[in-house]
Chain A
Amino acid sequence: MPAGLKPDRPAAARRRRPGAAPYVLLAPSVAYLVVFFIVPLLQGLRLAFTGQDGQWGLSTVHGLLNDPGFWSSVWNTLIMLAIILPVQLVLALAMSLLVNAKLRGSGFWFYVYMLPLGISDLTSGIIWYSVFTQQGWLNSVLQDLGIIHQPFIWLSYQHQLLIIATIVVAEAWRSTSIIVIILVGGLQAIPREYSEAADVFYASPWQKLWHVTLPLLRPTLRTALILRTVLAFEVFATVIALAGSSLSVLATKANNAYTQYQEPHLAAAYGILIMLLSLVSTALFLVMLPVRTEQAS
């Protein structure tokens, strides 16, 4: 039975001390990351708290907060996340439920829904730019259908909300598979009995979804949301392709600071902010969707 639905175990069994076992199992991953990532990361972090002259201080943080476009990039990042996550969740749920419904050829549907998993955000930026650009696919189709008589500029800097919408579309297309693949795994783990029990009580499909499937999916949903959120913070190639200089998100700010303006201190400061936001959202998910772990003996 999935965690969360099991009848409570005796308190004593749950609170047995785990001993050294978990730490031993974790050690290789910690060691590996310390060597290959944490050490360079610390050097990067140091950049954020030293000024251009190499002295420790908050001058870079100061520079960050006063960077033109800083607040709007924070705002854009959060807005996009707030829109993309629900859209993707709904899409992914639809896809995974369809795959799980044992339709004819569910293997084929699954394969198709999985395909965007192989697409990087760079490729996605190229595809969707070619769709939304002024002389691109969307306008071509609309003009051929007679809906417009002149190309419409979807990516104009004057229509920031429209640009955000195109980014949402591009991201929803590209990275929903990540959620689908995790949800399908979770759905498969739900034993048939629950669904059959609900049928016994003449539950409608929506009731089954809301009261049976989704609660059972909670741990899977949590994983998918954490994964997707952290990845969302690092996506910038799509944003640069579609928005250019018109609007920024934190990831593009960090990247531009480093590659265009050769300001590693500022870039590191943006990087830390992104990390913090990532941390906060992970913590939020861990708290809002708690999952009772089955304690090993």
Chain B
Amino acid sequence: MKARAFGKYAGAVILAVWVLFPMYLLTAGAFSTQNGVYQYPKSLWPDWSTGTMRFFWDSVGVPAALGRSVIVAAITVALSMLIGTPAGYAIARYRFRGRNPYQMSIVSTRAFPVVVLSIPLAVFFLQWGIYDTVWAVALMHTALVLPFVVLITSSVLAGIPVDLEEAAQVFGCGRPGAFWRVVLPLALPGLAAAASFAVLMSYNEVFAASILTIERPTLPALVLNALSASPDPYKFAAAWLLMIPTFVFIFIMRRYILGFGVERRG
């Protein structure tokens, strides 16, 4: 038993290092001196410096863009969960005509490269007068995220036995009441996963966001130039800045996804 436990811990540690090490490398790159970035062989413990990061932060308008990203993500997750969860329930609980085609098409439309739709989308939002606002980006992101929310919620809800709902209905709950009181609490970890996915997808989405904004970009749209066309030190700084808020978010969400506090069934 001891050997097996040791093996498990060793495995967990190795995988954790695999995940964390490249992030450390990014941090080292973002906080090196400019010359340190270009040095070879690179040193794993660089000459630490905040110069690049400070220049980047001061010159680019990062806080406002981050705020916008947060708002966009919030609207996106709210809208997509509101619209997507009922659809997921329908797929999970009903066998109806069009069920498979719906699933297949809703997901595969997402595979079409959004960049090709730049002009039609921009014109659409321009004509509606909401171009270059967080609403335009949030509405677009909801459309992009919705198929995945439907997919994940349908999978989650399918894993919850129908008996529980039926039992609740026996005890006097209506169909919605059964859903709310019985299914939802059990589905919470899975729904939290779907919601986290929606938030992170929206946060990282760069192409639709850069099509739809000029003066009021989200953070990825703002730093897109830095990420793709600027000298390396700025690339690292931008990527690091983009990465850190997600760490905070995942930290908050992990308890909900892991379902701590929700009684395990069985």
Residues of A bordering B, CB below 8 Å: 1-3, 6, 14, 18, 21-23, 25-26, 28-30, 32-33, 36-41, 43-44, 47, 91, 94-95, 98-99, 101, 103, 106-107, 109-120, 122-123, 126-128, 130-131, 135-137, 139-141, 143-144, 151, 173, 178, 181-182, 184-186, 188-193, 205, 219-220, 222-223, 226-227, 230, 233-234, 251, 254-255, 258-259, 264, 267-268, 270-272, 274-279, 282-283, 286, 291, 293-297
* CA–CA, A220 and B94, complex, Å: 18
Whether A118 and B204, one on each chain, are in contact in the complex, defined by CB atoms closer than 8 angstroms, is yes
Q: Let me know if B109 and A33 touch, CB within 8 A.
A: yes
- Residues from chain B with a CB closer than 8 A to the CB of A112 are 16, 19-20
Chain A residues, CB < 8 A from B168: none
Could you give, for residues 80-110 of chain B, a 1 whenever the CB lies within 8 Å of some chain A CB and a 0 otherwise? 0011101101111111100110111111111
| A107-B254, A117-B250, A296-B162 given; A140·B42 CB < 8 A | yes
Q: Contact check: which of A25, A220, A264 meets B87 at CB < 8 Å? A: A25
Judge if B142 is at the interface, Cβ distance under 8 Å. Answer: yes
B260 within 8 A of A: yes
Cross-chain contact B189 with A227 (CB below 8 angstroms): no
Hey, which bits of chain B sit against chain A, CB under 8 A? 4-5, 8-9, 11-12, 15-16, 18-20, 22-23, 25-26, 29, 38, 40-44, 82-84, 86-87, 89-96, 99-100, 102-113, 115-118, 120-121, 124, 139-140, 142-144, 146-148, 150-152, 154-156, 158-162, 165-166, 189-190, 193, 196-197, 200, 203-204, 206, 220, 224, 227-228, 232, 235-236, 239, 242-243, 245-247, 249-251, 254-255, 257-260, 264-266
* 23 pairs, CB–CB < 8 Å, chain A vs chain B: A18-B94, A23-B90, A25-B89, A44-B116, A44-B117, A103-B12, A117-B196, A122-B206, A126-B236, A131-B25, A140-B42, A178-B197, A205-B4, A254-B113, A267-B113, A271-B112, A275-B108, A275-B111, A277-B111, A293-B92, A295-B162, A296-B93, A296-B94
Q: Give Cα distance in the complex from A143 to B30, angstroms.
A: 22
In the complex formed, the residue of B with least CB distance to A259 is B115
Cβ contact of B159, chosen from A113, A126, A219, cutoff 8 A: A219
The reply to whether A122 and B228 contact each other, CB–CB distance below 8 Å, is yes
Contact A122 B254 (CB under 8 A): no
CB distance from B196 to the nearest CB of A (A): 7
Among B25, B111, B220, B224, the residue within 8 A (CB) of A230 is B111
Cβ of A118: which chain B residues have Cβ within 8 Å of it? 200, 203-204, 243, 245-247, 249-250
Q: Assess whether A181 is in contact with B94, with CB atoms less than 8 Å apart.
A: no
Q: CA separation between A107 and B251, bound complex, in Å?
A: 10
Instruction: Tell whether, in the assembled complex, residue B236 and residue A130 are in contact, meaning their CB atoms are under 8 Å apart.
Output: yes
Nearest B-chain residue to A265, judged by Cβ: B116
Structural contact, A47 and B116, CB atoms closer than 8 A: yes
Closest A residue, CB atoms, query B235: A126
Q: Is the CB of A185 within 8 A of B8?
A: no
CB-based contact A297/B162 at 8 Å? yes
Looking across the interface, which residue of chain B has its beta carbon closest to that of A222? B155
**In the complex the two chains form, what is the Cα distance from A223 to B5 in whole Å?**
30
Q: Which of A140, A143, A151, A226 contacts B107 (CB 8 A)?
A: A226
- Assess whether A109 is in contact with B249, with CB atoms less than 8 Å apart: no
B7 to chain A, nearest CB (A): 10
Evaluate contact between B116 and A271: CB separation under 8 angstroms: yes
Collect the chain B residues with CB atoms within 8 Å of residue A91's CB.
15
Interface pair A223/B251, CB less than 8 Å apart: no
A182 and B108: CB pair below 8 A?
A: no
Report the minimal beta-carbon distance from B129 to chain A, rounded to whole angstroms: 16
Q: Check if B90 sits within 8 Å of A21, measured CB to CB.
A: yes
CB distance from A49 to the nearest CB of B (A): 14
In the complex, the chain A residue whose C-beta lies closest to that of B265 is A191
Closest CB of chain B to A60's CB: distance in Å? 12
Q: Give chain B nearest CB distance to A278 CB in angstroms.
A: 4
B152:A282 contact, CB within 8 angstroms: no
CA distance A113 to B15 in the complex (A): 8
Q: Which residue of A lies closest to B205 (CB)?
A: A120
Whether A37 lies near B16 (C-beta < 8 A) is no
- Determine the chain A residues whose CB is within 8 A of the CB of B152 once the complex forms: 182, 223, 227
Which B residue's beta carbon lies closest to that of A128? B22
For the complex, give the distance between the alpha carbons of A137 and B39 in Å: 10
Known: A29-B146, A38-B109, A101-B8. A127 touches B22 (CB 8 A): yes
Cβ contact within 8 Å between A117 and B120: no
Measured CA separation A143–B42 after assembly (Å): 10
Determine whether the beta carbon of B40 is less than 8 Å from that of A29: no
Give every chain B residue within 8 A of A143 (Cβ-Cβ): 41
Q: Closest B residue to A28 by CB, please name it.
A: B83
Known: A116-B19, A119-B246, A251-B113. A40 touches B120 (CB 8 A): yes
Judging by beta carbons under 8 Å apart, are B93 and A294 in contact?
yes
- Distance of B88 from chain A, by nearest CB (Å): 9
